[in-house]
Amino acid sequence: MILALGAWAQTNTTANSGQNPAQGAAAQSGREPLASPRPTDFWDGDDPNFVNLITHPFANKKYVQRQVTPIRDRINELDQITSENSSAIKDVDARAQQGIQRASEKSSLADQHAADAGNKAQLAQTAASEASARVSSAERRVSGLDQYKGTAEAEIRFRPGQTELSKNAKDALDNMAAPLKGQRSYIIEVRGFSAGRGQAAIASSEKMADSVVRYLVLTHNIPVYRIYVLSMGDVPVGSEATVGKRVIGGKVEVSVLKNDLVGATQQ
């Protein structure tokens, strides 16, 4: 009776336990629980002999091993799942790092392109400013091409009927022409005036003006294209025009006109 009561108590306890720990862990992991061995009879897989009949109600080694094996299998399975999850997390992290690195590289490249575009825009702005400055300078030069101002004047007097230059006249022309050696952007205006009337006065004033031009060209090597001759005849000039007087004898007015703007640009 004692042995029978022990066997009945063990069987009843196993049946009333409902669910073993391994089955609970399997339910929490979302997987099918491992099948645990179910006793089919009193011997529960033990050999039906006298020794097992005595020791069966107690937790022997084989009995404990049969109860622990499902739990150990589930623990191993959980370890495997944990390892797989760790590998998946590492893989996701690696891909995320690669994505972040690629995004950073693209951002750096975009910043570099933006900087290059800014530099090109700055260079374009500088070139436009320089071009505008050159255009403005050219406009000033063009507008100043005909802006001449007098820098020297001389008056050469002639006796009536005379066209040769006196010593005083030559000295005056020398003082005027000497500073012009090697200079550019200047012109010499020669205006001849003579007593008389009509074409005779004009012809006489032209001869006196030609004598001045001849001296400047032959003595001082003044280019002919820089000399402008005007034969004014008996036209009153200066104070003589104010009082209505005519020229007595003859005279030639010589003026040196220079364009400082063109001269500074050429230098």
Q: Are 193 and 235 in contact (CB under 8 A)?
A: yes
1 Cα distance to chain centroid: 105
Residue with tokens 């010499």: 188
Question: CA-to-CA distance for 191 and 244, rounded, in angstroms?
Answer: 19
Three-point CA angle 32, 34, 37, nearest 5°:
145
What's the DSSP call for residue 147?
-
Q: Are strands 149-158 and 250-258 parallel, antiparallel or unpaired?
A: antiparallel
Other CB atoms within 10 A of residue 251 CB = 20
Our separate counts of H helices and E strands in the chain read 8, 4
Q: What is the mean pLDDT of each run of 10 residues along the chain (267 residues)?
A: 49 48 51 55 63 61 74 86 91 91 90 91 91 79 67 87 88 91 88 88 91 93 92 72 60 88 51
Q: What is the CATH number of domain 149-266?
A: 3.30.1330.60
- In this structure, the number of other CB atoms found within 10 A of the CB of residue 235 comes to 17
Helix/strand/coil percentages in the chain, nearest 5: 60, 15, 25
For CATH 3.30.1330.60, the residue range(s) in the chain are: 149-266
Decide: pTM greater than 0.75: no
